[in-house]
Structure 1
C-alpha cells in the first residue's frame, strides 16, 4: 500500500515514509501538549501547593 502511494506521487518511497513519520510524531506532540495543558488547568492549584511545601526540593 505504501509503495503504491509513493509511486503515484512525485515523492520517493523514502520521502513518503518520512512524511508519514513526521505527521505521526507531530500528532503525538500536539496530543502531549494538549494533555499537559489540561493537567495544568485542572491541577495547577495542587501543583502550586506542592511547590510551597517546606520539604519541597
Structure 2
C-alpha cells in the first residue's frame, strides 16, 4: 500500500476478483440469461469491506 497520490493503507482487492462477481450476480437475478461480454473501467481501488456498485445494461 502506498501513501500520497497512490493507494491508501489497507488491503486492495484484485480488480478481476471484483469483476468475477458480476456473472454470478446476473445469473441469480436473470436465470437463463446469456452473459456474453463485459466492459470494465477500474476508476479507483477497491479495499476489503468496500461496497461495490455495478451498472448493468441488458440488450
* TM-score using structure 2 length: 0.29
Larger Rg: 1
Between Structure 1 and Structure 2, which shows a larger proportion of helix residues? Answer: 1
* TM-score using structure 1 length: 0.30
